[in-house]
Structure 1
Amino acid sequence: MTQETRTEQSRNHDLLYSLHDRPAFWPSTFAALQHVLASLVGVITPTLIVGGVLGLGEHVPYLISMALMVSGVGTFIQCRRIGPIGAGMLCLQGTSFAFLTAVLSAGMIVKSRGGTPEDILATIFGVSFCAAFVEIFLSRFIHKLQRVITPVVTGTIIILIGIPLIKVAMTDIGGGFGAENFGALDNLLLAGIVLVSVILLNRSKNPMIRLAAVVIGLALGMLAAFFMGRLDFSHLGSLPLMSIPVPFKFGFQFDLAAFIPLAILFCVSAMETTGDLTANSTISKEPVKGPVYLNRIRGGVLADGFNSMIAATFNSMPSTTFSQNNGVIALTGVASRFVGIYIAAILFIMGLFPIIGGVLQQMPKPVLGGATLIMFGTVAVAGIRVLSHAHLDRRNMMIVAISVGLGIGVSTVPDVLQELPKTVANILSSPVAMGAISAILLSLVLPEQKVEEEEVADAVATEEGVEMTKKKLGEMS
């Protein structure tokens, strides 16, 4: 046995199956089901929210089917690696919450000018298709993108993704947009059941229960809704037996105001995917530097953009790698990329049957809101976590303060932009676009202060503060 082989075995001693191992059918199936369970809510929830907020009604079951099928295809590409496309690791690809705010803004632009649900979907998928090429292009020099999309910019954007969505979650808790019984006690009760269930399950000592906390919480909420007479499955008989993927089923439309926020988010998505794949490499006991690592990152980010292009073609929203599946790898000790083929098959088969989407569409808004309140709050906290790893000197704090203030400001007082040209107003009305443009421009314009200068300035400020305090105490005495 060579020294290299012994080193490799030592590195992988705590994995049941390493990256290139091929587990048997049942171990692979069991591991795949755990990944699906951990990610299912993330895959379907963006579609449920977009369908509810934009009034897409009858199209929702089909859209959920497409989200599941596209996630299956994307996962297969990431794990299998087709040519240069894919990371070649066990990573699940699914519909991304990161694009939700921008997608809703795009839909509202079309809806405000009298567009039909089909027009809304044609614009969302047309713009997403074009914007996906941004990430495909960036994948070729992803290592240089960090000079522009710094942790300060990334953290600011992620916060502005999460905070506006909390309003959507709270509206669902009340009963949904335009609900006649908005704020009724039974709505708050249903949301409370889900919220409390997720909190309690998340505190469990069993790792699998923690991973499935949101799924179980939603199931309990649906059960409570059933006993309250809030579920109606009578329409399920009218659904087709199977969903057939149709490229651009609703047409293809483009809108510049909707394109720019999505293009910016694809830049951020590239950085997030880099982080997810780095964590995946660490957990899977694979290199996190050198040519092999860099090749995987480039392939993974390329697949991220390519899969989002496929998603738009087959009527689903942009997708990205899921970070929670790194936790499943750590929990199960299964890092084999071949398990990804089983995950892909399960998701694709689930997507074939629109009855699954039909059942999920009947989920009462308060039930969904109880879960998404936690999920969207978690997104905002993830942004704060990113900022915590940045050097928050006075310059960076100014960038964050201005960018977050502008982003939240335009989402709460949109009329402030009413005198601007229509296209410009539509672009800047997106909190993500406003905050991202502000953060990037300020990062490029404001000169970075040297660490030594900052430390001296802080020391002087502290010394002056101490002297002033002494002076005040002397006056009081």
Structure 2
Amino acid sequence: MSSPTSPSSGPAADQTELVLGLDDKPAPTVAFLAALQHLLAIIVPIVTPGLLICNAIGVSPSDTNLILSMSLVISGIATFVQCRKFGPLGAGLLIVQGTSFNFVGPLIAGGVLMVGQGASAEKVMATIFGVVIAGSFIEMGVSRVLPFVKRLITPLVTGIVVLMIGLTLIKVGLISMGGGFGAMKDGSFANAQNLLLSCTVLALIILLNRIPVVWVRSSAIVIALLVGYALAAYLGRLDFSGLRDAPAVQVPMPMHFGLDFSWSLFAPMVVIYLVTSLEAIGDVTATSKISQQPVQGPLWMERVKGGVLVNGANSLLAGLFNTFPSSVFAQNNGIIQLTGVASRHVGLWIAAMLVILGLFPAVAGVIQAVPEPVLGGAVIVMFGAVAAAGINILASTRLDRRALLIIAVSLGLGLGISQTPEFLQHMPHWLRNVLESGVATGGISALVLNWLLPDPHHTDD
């Protein structure tokens, strides 16, 4: 998916009047301006997952700076490969790739649990990156057997899992609005100042989205965060400690934290990697459609396979270079519609901008300085949008008695386990490891029930 703030591509996509087609080479000024519009839409979603995870686990400011910088660099590399295409790698379309929100909830839940059990933040990050690397092979494997996986994981299953991800993330967003896990420890959680910061950002996002000016609506989150940043500066809440020990240029350092592994952290990731792969199919198809390229046939399938393969390969690279899994973003489809520029050469400019920003730690340091309540006002909207995307997927399916039964059981078990994990206390350790994430429980339930209960309306493609 994508970022949760991505505009949908509906029927209007068919009527997109392209100023520049897929292989047209725009003048440098045009390419730069088009790339800048994409950058404004993606930079916040790219760095936010890493910032939330690091804040929750208690990663040091200097290490957080490294992780955020690498989020930008790795996103730039993936965007370059998606647009440029190298053999089987990449879709060859104007596709932007960045850090995925899908993994935030399970990584925070698992990481906070490990910290509570006495693990250091460095140990937790080593485990997370080991799990990210292991999971990346799932997505790379899925890219080779897409027709089979699409039959097994239908839109019904995908919709349930995306809805579960969104519902579990909302709690993370609300904690951020109140000041984060650090504020919970020092007693300042949800105090007047924190609520002033978060509610100001939230109110601005709502207001800006009602203004009938397209560029204002598409930049609503960035504008609201800038206002929140200024308000935080006025209140003396900006913290630039992440810049204190940061080098002038950030040289990528593979396995800075080392590597470790945890089955309990890996189990929910399996389901999410599968669903993220299928979301990428939809995102690549939407971009192909808006770019006036085929959305069926061998060329389309080659692009989809290449896009999903880069999803996985780049998550492998992300784990090696100390950052989190990435996925195809969908909001660039809205920018293509807005500008009429579908040239994949613009993607090379976007990629260069992301890598350059990531190599200078001052950029990550300025972003890291934002107080968590400011970020919380924005992410509560983003995370609610993830849940809404799940509802939208479910609404596009046939909601007969069978589907409603699968939804009811999957949501009941998934949300129940996430709210009452003690339910699993007498189960074997290996089974607890698999089921202790609500997303994993709900996703596995949906997958098994969808397989066991035959769909009378199903016809093979």
TM over 0.5: yes
Q: Which residue is 2:55 aligned to?
A: 52
1:237: how far off?
3.7
Q: Secondary structure at the match of 2:98?
A: strand
**Structure-1 separation of matches of 2:436 and 2:219:** 36
Q: How does 1:124-143 map to 2 (within 5 A)?
A: 124-143=128-147
Deviations 1:315-359 (A, max 9, x none): 110000100010001101110111111000000000011122222
Q: Secondary structure at the match of 2:51?
A: helix
Q: Which residue is 1:212 aligned to?
A: 219
Task: Specify which of 325, 332, 337 is matched with residue 339 of structure 2.
Answer: 332
Change (3 A) 1:450 1:354: closer
Task: Specify which of 144, 148, 151 is matched with residue 155 of structure 2.
Answer: 151
Q: Which residue is 1:82 aligned to?
A: 86
What residue identity is the alignment partner of 2:176? D
Q: Which residue is 2:34 aligned to?
A: 31
**Structure-2 separation of matches of 1:145 and 1:233:** 46
Matched, 1:96 2:103: no
**Structure-2 separation of matches of 1:12 and 1:195:** 33
Q: Which residue is 1:454 aligned to?
A: none
Change (3 A) 1:174 1:109: closer
| Contact in 2 for aligned 1:264/1:436 (Cα 8 Å) | yes
**Structure-2 separation of matches of 1:412 and 1:196:** 29
| Contact in 1 for aligned 2:56/2:112 (Cα 8 Å) | no
Matched, 1:312 2:315: no
Q: Which residue is 1:422 aligned to?
A: 429
**Structure-2 separation of matches of 1:310 and 1:41:** 21
Task: Specify which of 271, 276, 279 is matched with residue 264 of structure 1.
Answer: 271
1:450: how far off?
5.2
Task: Specify which of 359, 366, 371 is matched with residue 364 of structure 1.
Answer: 371
| Contact in 2 for aligned 1:142/1:270 (Cα 8 Å) | no
Q: Which residue is 2:73 aligned to?
A: 69
**Structure-2 separation of matches of 1:380 and 1:346:** 31
Q: Which residue is 2:328 aligned to?
A: 321
TM-score of the aligned structures, taking structure 1 as reference length: 0.90
Deviations 1:383-442 (A, max 9, x none): 000000111111110111111111111111111111122332232111110011100111
Deviations 1:195-232 (A, max 9, x none): 01111111122211111111111111011111112123
Q: How does 1:174-185 map to 2 (within 5 A)?
A: 174-179=178-183, 180-185=187-192
Q: Which residue is 1:386 aligned to?
A: 393
Q: Secondary structure at the match of 1:146?
A: helix
**Structure-2 separation of matches of 1:333 and 1:408:** 42
**Structure-2 separation of matches of 1:132 and 1:19:** 29
Q: Secondary structure at the match of 1:147?
A: helix
Change (3 A) 1:232 1:52: closer
| Contact in 1 for aligned 2:111/2:124 (Cα 8 Å) | yes
**Structure-2 separation of matches of 1:214 and 1:61:** 22
What residue identity is the alignment partner of 1:381? A
**Structure-2 separation of matches of 1:232 and 1:373:** 22
Q: What is the percentage of aligned positions where both structures have the same residue?
A: 46
**Structure-2 separation of matches of 1:122 and 1:235:** 20
| Contact in 1 for aligned 2:76/2:350 (Cα 8 Å) | yes
Aligned positions, number: 441
Q: Which residue is 1:463 aligned to?
A: none
**Structure-2 separation of matches of 1:221 and 1:146:** 42
Change (3 A) 1:294 1:232: closer
Task: Specify which of 298, 301, 317 is matched with residue 305 of structure 2.
Answer: 298
Q: Which residue is 2:10 aligned to?
A: none
Q: Which residue is 2:11 aligned to?
A: none
**Structure 1 runs not aligned, ≥5 long:** 1-10, 452-477
Q: Secondary structure at the match of 2:108?
A: helix
Q: Which residue is 1:459 aligned to?
A: none
| Contact in 2 for aligned 1:106/1:123 (Cα 8 Å) | no
| Contact in 1 for aligned 2:173/2:379 (Cα 8 Å) | yes
1:109: how far off?
4.5
Deviations 1:68-103 (A, max 9, x none): 000000100100001110000000010000111222
For the aligned residue pairs, the C-alpha RMSD in angstroms reads: 1.5
Q: How does 1:229-248 map to 2 (within 5 A)?
A: 229-233=236-240, 236-248=243-255
| Contact in 2 for aligned 1:160/1:408 (Cα 8 Å) | yes
**Structure-2 separation of matches of 1:176 and 1:450:** 46
**Structure-1 separation of matches of 2:307 and 2:241:** 43
Q: Which residue is 1:458 aligned to?
A: none
**Structure-2 separation of matches of 1:236 and 1:178:** 20
**Structure 2 runs not aligned, ≥5 long:** 1-13
What residue identity is the alignment partner of 2:133? F
Deviations 1:150-176 (A, max 9, x none): 111100000110111111111111122
| Contact in 2 for aligned 1:38/1:211 (Cα 8 Å) | yes
TM-score of the aligned structures, taking structure 2 as reference length: 0.93
What residue identity is the alignment partner of 1:320? S
**Structure-1 separation of matches of 2:181 and 2:371:** 12
Q: Which residue is 1:228 aligned to?
A: 235
**Structure-2 separation of matches of 1:237 and 1:309:** 30
**Structure-2 separation of matches of 1:304 and 1:153:** 20
| Contact in 2 for aligned 1:131/1:263 (Cα 8 Å) | yes
What residue identity is the alignment partner of 1:104? I
Q: How does 1:396-415 map to 2 (within 5 A)?
A: 396-415=403-422
What residue identity is the alignment partner of 1:304? N
**Structure-1 separation of matches of 2:70 and 2:342:** 27
Task: Specify which of 419, 426, 450 is matched with residue 443 of structure 1.
Answer: 450
